Amino acid sequence: MWRYFLPTRVFSGSGVLKINQTVFKENGTKALIVTGRSSARVSGALDDTIEILMNLDVPYVLFDGVEENPSFATVEKGGKIMGENDCDFVVAIGGGSPLDAAKAISTLNKNKGITCDDLYRGDSLAAFPIIAIPTTSGTGSEVTPYSILTDSNGTKRGFGMSSTFPIVSFLDARYTLTMSHEVTLATALDALSHSLEGEVVNNGDNPLVKMLSAESTGIIHRVLPRLMNRENDLTLREKIQYAAMLAGMVIAHTGTTAAHAAGYPLSSFKGIKHGIANAVTIIKVFERIAQADPERIARAIEPFESIGELEEFLDSFEVQKMVPALTEDEVQRWSEQSSKASHNKKTPGNLDRDFYIDLYRGLGKH
Ligand code: NAP
Ligand code: ZN
């Protein structure tokens, strides 16, 4: 038995915003535009959006204060601005950070009086409509319900409800051309980890998810090495954007594995980009799962022929050199935390505290 659910309308191609601009009038009367500090402007997506809203006479308020790994405090600040200005839909422009923050801001406003903590109680809450315009090609947040926020202790926590799927996503790869080399690589490797980890969880059970994952992994395997040498190539950018969206569709149905859980503290406490954090943890996690179920890993990582080949692919981008060695105190604290993550229950293999101690001690040794 399997189910497939994806309520997001996706428009893709150069100029999709302008061509489909009436969408901005169909979902509300006053917009809160949610962005990071500069990428929405630099990419050109913010100007295009504002021009359209002005042409349509749709008023808007801009909240451009979302940082990487967005905090509860930032979301609550954005929520206050949305409420004070009576906005009734959200346009999120940027990478996963602004998109995720926008989902939480929209939910907080629809349910007056709740706090960020209330988003994690497992309730199914309503949200104002969310329009997503991604400027990175990685998280897949444009087609997932998930919002990953950082609480006041520095812990990354995710929630997702059917109301927090974007109602519409516009994919225009021109907005991704301005990503730096580092962000391009990190986000593409995040997409790859979604595709691989999602299929490890799925284990072939949902044939649609398997198909999406196989396509996504195949594209990233073929295209990413070329893109890293030709970053201005719009066709290659479009392919990676498409692969990241497919991988988002995968995790919308499966979630991720312990590789994501293990990487979270690296982003929260060491500033390591999310996709790089996954890339340096995924091999050890997959090796452990393979000890319990080798066939499952072999099938999920195709067209990579072995974990060794996947490791070589990741090493070709020198990802291990991008993380520092950890102190023994960090190793102990993070291992305790990661061994309790819900991600560990999604796959076979004994992902206990000792496993994480070994994983974290191995980082930064290159
Ligand atoms: P991000 O944190 O949104 O952005 C990373 C950096 O890239 C920022 O400095 C950003 O600048 C910059 N940037 C983004 N687009 C750019 C562009 N086109 N040109 C120039 N610079 C650009 O990166 P992300 O990897 O997309 O998102 C990571 C977050 O998403 C993490 O918090 C992660 O946990 C979460 N995540 C969510 C899901 C999900 O399903 N919702 C899945 C995986 C991960 P600005 O600060 O100026 O914007
Ligand atoms: Zn991710």
Residue 230, CA distances (Å) to 239, 292, 345 in order:
13, 40, 40
Residue 197 Cα to ligand 2 midpoint, Å, equals: 10
Decide whether any atom of ligand 1 lies within 6 Å of the 100 Cβ: yes
Instruction: Decide whether any atom of ligand 1 lies within 6 Å of the 39 Cβ.
Output: yes
CB contact at 8 A, 11 and 169: yes
CA of 144 to the centre of ligand 1 (A): 15
Report the distance separating Cα 27 and Cα 30, nearest Å.
9
By C-alpha distance, which of 222, 219, 223, 226 is closest to 246?
219
Would you state the pLDDT for residue 311? 98
Give me the mean pLDDT over the 9-27 stretch: 97
Q: Is the shortest distance between the CB of 97 and ligand 1 below 6 Å?
A: yes
Structure tokens of 363? 């980082």
- State what percent of residues in the chain have pLDDT above 70: 100
> Does the structure show a pLDDT above 80 at 366?
no
Task: Name the percent of the chain lying above pLDDT 90.
Answer: 98
pLDDT, tens digit (0-9, with 9 covering 90-100), for 202-251: 999 999 999 999 999 999 999 999 999 999 999 999 999 999 999 999 99
Give 251-292 pLDDT, tens digit per residue: 999 999 999 999 999 999 999 999 999 999 999 999 999 999
Inter-residue contact 32 to 60 (CB < 8 Å): yes
Nearest ligand 1 atom, CA 146? 41
Q: Among the atoms of ligand 1, which is closest to the Cα of residue 97?
A: 3
Tell how far CA 285 is from the center of its chain.
19
For position 365, what pLDDT does the model report?
79
Residue 309 φ then ψ, to 5°:
-70, -40
**Ligand 1 atom 43, closest CA:** 139
